[in-house]
Structures are given as structure tokens and as C-alpha cells.
Amino acid sequence: SQELEQSPQSLIVQEGKNLTINCTSSKTLYGLYWYKQKYGEGLIFLMMLQKGGEEKSHEKITAKLDEKKQQSSLHITASQPSHAGIYLCGAYRNAGNNRKLIWGLGTSLAVNP
């Protein structure tokens, strides 16, 4: 099973609608990253959340970290076709003396004009 579970797996919304994507961890979260992948392209860093309760915004995208729930949510307000793509969350896990970056499977977002 995935250490980072994303929901929903896919989402289709009408332009202008709000939406939320969740990323839930099976272990304690010390920090969480959100990336966006446009279809057929690489990943682009959106934002990083480090502390419980932290909230960050980038244009119309807001992400929050709830450490108690071991969950982060990504909220898009008034969605636009440019928001379409795959949203991935990532988090570091301690692995012995090293840290390992793990990833969710992604949420595919389509925005219909």
C-alpha cells in the first residue's frame, strides 16, 4: 500500500468551480511538498509545508498541512483550464541515516471550459 494516498484519483470540474485534493500519510508528516505535472511534461514545484497548521498560497492554489490528521489538502479556487494536470504530493521519510523522498500516485485534474 502507498505511504502517501491521494484522493480523488481523478477529477473533472467545470471552469470556475472550486476543488480540493487530499494527500494522507500513513506515518507522521514532517513536511509535505506539492508538485504539478502537465500532461507529457516534467514536474513543477508548487509549494512546501513544514509545520502543522501551515497554509500557503500560490495564485489561486492554497495548501494546508494538518499534522494531527497526517494530511494535506490542496484547494483550487475558481479553477481554470490552465490548472489541468496531475497533482502529486511528496514527503521525506527517514531511512536509516538517510532521508527518502516518497510520492503519492497523483490526482489527475481536468477543467472543462
Partner 1 sequence: NAGVTQTPKFQVLKTGQSMTLQCAQDMNHEYMSWYRQDPGMGLRLIHYSVGAGITDQGEVPNGYNVSRSTTEDFPLRLLSAAPSQTSVYFCASSYVRGSYEQYFGPGTRLTVT
Binding stretches for partner 1 (CB under 8 A):
2, 31, 33, 35, 40-45, 48, 88, 92, 99-101, 103-106
**Cβ 106 to partner 1, closest distance in Å?**
7
Cell numbers found for residue 15: 471552469
- Taking the least distance from each CB to partner 1, the nearer of 18 and 57 is 57
- Check: CB of residue 43 under 8 Å from CB of residue 34: no
CA–CA gap between residue 49 and residue 98 (Å, rounded): 20
Strand-pair partners of 109: 11, 85
- Kindly tell me which of 43 and 110 has the beta carbon lying closer to partner 1: 43
| Cβ at position 84, least distance to partner 1 in Å | 17
